[in-house]
Amino acid sequence: IFEPTEKMSTYLLAFVISEFTNLRSPSEANIRIWGRREAIESGQGDYALSVTFPILKYLENYYNTTYPLSKSDQVALPDFAAGAMENWGLVTYREQSLFYDPKVSSNEDKEWVVTVITHELAHMWFGNLVTMRWWNDLWLNEGFASYVSYLGADYAEPTWNIKDLMVLQQVQRAFGVDALVSSHPLSSREDEVITPDQIDQLFDTITYSKGAAVLRMLSEFLTDLRYYDVFTRLVVDADSSIQLPASINEIMNRWILQMGFPVVTINTRTGIISQQHFLIHPDAVVDKPSDYNYEWFVPITWMKSGSNMGQHWLLTKTASYEPMKTDTDWLLANLNVTGYYRVNYDPQNWERLLTQLTNLNMIIHRAQIINITLALRTTKYLYEEKEYIPWESAIRNFEYFFLMFDRTEVYGPLQTYLQRKVKPLFDHFKVITSNWTRKPPRYMDQYNQINAVSMACKTGVKGCSELTRMWYRQWMKNPDSNPIPTNLKITVYCNAIAAGGVEEWDFGWQMFKNSTIAAEAEKLLYGLSCTKEPWLLNRYLEFTIEPNLVRKQDVAFAIVYISGNVIGQPLVWDFVRANWEHLTKDYDDGSFFFGRLIRGITRKFSTEFDLQQLQRFKEDIAASSFSFGTQAIEQAIEQTKANIKWVSENKVQVMNWLIEQSA
């Protein structure tokens, strides 16, 4: 018996026909978690059920509106292309986005479940109860849900400090794509988004991550008001308690209707502040006109020598602001990176900031610093650092160095430098875990333990490879009892398989096939990509296009994982080009799959030869009838050009600096 369907957008209607069973709360009878009987009966849905009700109550308060439906069903599907889909009252998920098993799953798995659930439930109001007029404003739907996912998850798990991860997971991710001339505004004209392919291409980093970052900035300069209050002000656009330099509409249009973001340069010797459209390739030609001339109304939060100085607005390309003129005081702007912009300073202020780095526990991202030597110098203190956020930031920044240099003579000095920095952290966690026999007591330390072991093994710290191989061999001897700590599984699988041969790989493959827990299978999917045997990587690639071996939802991930292996990258590039027609026929659901695939497999491209091959690939696709992922290819070409320029300008400088530091 079906109740009458609510008035809704057609894309939100769903049916699930299955033999699934469900889990429901006795006190909240209309909340149900559905899935395979084995998964439900083994308790994999318990965590989702426990957080759904508090998240719904939080969102009711946040929106100042009661939950609009009489029930909430959430269904885990074994093979599902998207991470999740917000069908109204019948949300569908990949299994690893809804199911959690504390005996097997990691902290990261649990965090993923609670944030995805919040993201989807946020849509029940914003996107479902009220839907955008057309797809050109998709960013409001997905960007808002991405932003609110951190707020709701933080409410459900208040000890995790999930909101602190937004800068790393959303803002920095958006910066990387929005610094390309092939980026696009958050919103465009309706007549620019007509075809299904044009709609598909909007489901990208700009829509999700930049959307979340810009809404976070709006929330900050409106003093962290709830959505209901913000919405009211967007309508009435007046509030005497908040001093704004222009209407919210005038301020936000510059962030919504033009692509990109500014780098704000503050000269503390003169007090001059300026802004410029930040481009990863400074010589790139921006051929997309903007009504706002690529200038923004920029809210600048700042402090001087530890004293918070409030907020100042930069409304023109260049302005003078006397309070920012300093003598010996250091100045830091864009506190907690709440603004969607980067900051640069005069050399003297950079020097003053670097001397304060340890005291302030600052996070200065490589991409925020134009001078490469300054960027590297921010990492010199890491041997003293024990906290997660600074280490996670440093590792993400160094990831670009590994991508650019793992095939060059810079790789050795880079490993040596980082080995010296991470060894004290590795030794620290060995002590506080009683020789790896228990979890670190603090939640963020549990995350940082992953960084310590992963980077120690990557750089050859003595004892790390032996540790991972020992755990993996114990598991091989007794497959029914996995001794590997849940948070370290992905690191152990990768390093043990990399150090082993066919026996270790085949065991991992068998465990992957036998796994009944999606999060565990995903870790093994990654670990299998780490082997150093080319023939095993080629065999693995062939497995990915056999649907009875690797689920279609996992194919792009597996191929991208293999491309991250320095040995696997050229194999993947040949494989994808040779099998492009086959892939496009099997994955004709479009740009989302191919965008992920193309961006992933071209991350290491940094030579003229790479660029020539990529341009030829673009021409071949254009000449065929399988033209998926065109936007992703354009972005990959632009990123490759930027990589070539960056390597040519910095390779020798980086190598000399690393050798000097390791002398």
Q: Name all contacts of 312-318 with Cβ < 8 Å and 24+ positions apart.
A: 313/245, 314/264, 314/273, 314/275, 315/245, 315/246, 317/274, 317/275, 317/276, 318/272, 318/273, 318/274, 318/275
Dump pLDDT digits (tens) for 599-641: 999 999 999 999 999 999 999 888 776 666 678 888 899 999 9
Contact 544, 582 (CB under 8 A): no
Separation between Cα atoms, residue 597 and residue 556, nearest integer Å: 5
The third-level CATH classification (topology) of the domain covering 395-408+469-662 is Zincin-like fold (1.25.50)
Closest CA to 523 of 569, 551, 499, 557: 557
- Does the pLDDT value for residue 226 go beyond 70? no
Output the known binding site. 119, 123, 142
**How many helices, marked H, and strands, marked E, lie in the chain?**
28, 12
pLDDT of amino acid 389: 84
pLDDT of amino acid 624: 72
Mean pLDDT for the chain? 91
pLDDT of amino acid 371: 62
pLDDT of amino acid 565: 97
pLDDT of amino acid 154: 96
CATH class belonging to 10-205: mainly alpha
| pLDDT band for position 362 (cuts 50, 70, 90) | low
pLDDT of amino acid 164: 85
Output the known binding site for Zn(2+). 119, 123, 142
- Every domain of the chain and the residues it spans: 10-205, 371-394+409-462, 395-408+469-662
| pLDDT band for position 375 (cuts 50, 70, 90) | confident
| pLDDT band for position 365 (cuts 50, 70, 90) | very low
Contact 404, 646 (CB under 8 A): yes
pLDDT of amino acid 29: 66
Dump pLDDT digits (tens) for 340-352: 999 999 999 998 8
Q: Known catalytic residues?
A: 120
Separation between Cα atoms, residue 650 and residue 590, nearest integer Å: 37
Contact 343, 273 (CB under 8 A): no
pLDDT of amino acid 457: 97
pLDDT of amino acid 243: 80
Q: Do domains 10-205 and 395-408+469-662 have the same CATH topology?
A: no
Separation between Cα atoms, residue 440 and residue 449, nearest integer Å: 8
Give helix 568-578 / helix 608-623 axis angle, nearest 10°.
Answer: 20
| pTM of the model as a whole | 0.91
Helix (H) or strand (E) holding 22: strand 21-24
* DSSP sequence for 236-284: H---TTS--SS-HHHHHHHHHSS---EEEEEETTTTEEEEEE--SSTT-
